[in-house]
Chain A
Amino acid sequence: MTMPERSLSSRDLRAFGRLLRRFTIGLGALILAFHYFDHFGEWILAVWPYKACSEWPKSSLANAQGDVAEIAVRGCVLGLFNRQYRIRVRPADGSPAKVVVRFDPKGRPALHWLDVDRLQVDLGNVRALTPQIAQAGPIHITFIYRGANPSLD
């Protein structure tokens, strides 16, 4: 047995109207909550279980001493927005890990340990990069890149 087409369509319309009504009520309640409760936005950000932005390692390279240089990617909303590469150095002597440059590559960046306390970072062709940090604990870092000048924008 099939339902008459007209009644099915009006039922769908009614369901859609109900959905729209409830959505509007929810939105109105949310706006009122933002308006009347101080720090409601900050509270939502604090209790929200999923971080909007996250970072994941791409590759890493250790020297004989155990110092580690790594290429990491940071992005927001599953890496779709504000995607950014970072080079981080983790000295083995307990000095704090340090991001030594942030950049937007066109090709594949590469890491080379020249000896136990000298790291060479080849960023290749870049669209943008920050000024660099040339020392992390006992490690001296040199950078090779082309395509852009350092900028803090």
Chain B
Amino acid sequence: MKLLRWLEWIAFAASLVPILGVATFLYAWMPLFTRPCHIDHGEMAKNARGDVTEDQIIDCAILGSAAEFRVSLQLAEASDFIPLVYYDSVSNIHLRWLDDDHVSVDLGEVKWLTPQIHQLGRVTISYTYSGAEPSLE
């Protein structure tokens, strides 16, 4: 009985090591937990007004989450990018401003994509893709 109690105390002391390790890790990586996602910037295109459309990869440090590909648009007067479509493509995508108010997004052959945003502020967005129908699942 006494031996068991000693073993329990030893296990308790040993357990403090990984717990303190995790606590230190959590403290050091606190910014990652408050903002777990980061954006990798890919191909971008800008019009004369300063609106920017960009291919992006969102990678989140959350268990079970996979990187997401999306095309986003940042209006000249806005500070944030607004996602226009999420997709999973097997080919390179192409972004092209037809004029200051029209942008063309060529996603190529896709395995999956969401329904798209076609209008944002003054900007009209047109899409070209093949291989899949828009899905919300």
Secondary structure of the B contact surface, majority rule: mixed
Q: Which residues of B contact A25 (CB under 8 A)?
A: 8, 11-12, 15
Q: Which of B28-36, B82-90, B101-109 contacts A (4 or more CB under 8 A)?
A: B82-90
Q: A24-B19, A28-B14, A151-B82 are in contact. Are A86 and B64 (CB under 8 A)?
A: no
Number of residues on chain B facing chain A (CB within 8 A): 29
Closest B residue to A87 by beta carbon equals: B136
* A130 and B15 contact, CB distance less than 8 A: no
Q: A21-B12, A99-B137, A130-B136 are in contact. Are A152 and B117 (CB under 8 A)?
A: yes
Please report B residues at the A interface, Cβ cutoff 8 Å: 8-9, 11-12, 14-19, 21-22, 63-64, 70, 82-86, 114-118, 134-137
Q: Which 4 A-B pairs have the closest CB atoms?
A: A28-B15, A131-B115, A31-B18, A99-B136
8 A-B pairs whose Cβ atoms sit less than 8 Å apart in the complex: A25-B8, A25-B12, A25-B15, A98-B136, A131-B114, A131-B134, A151-B117, A152-B83
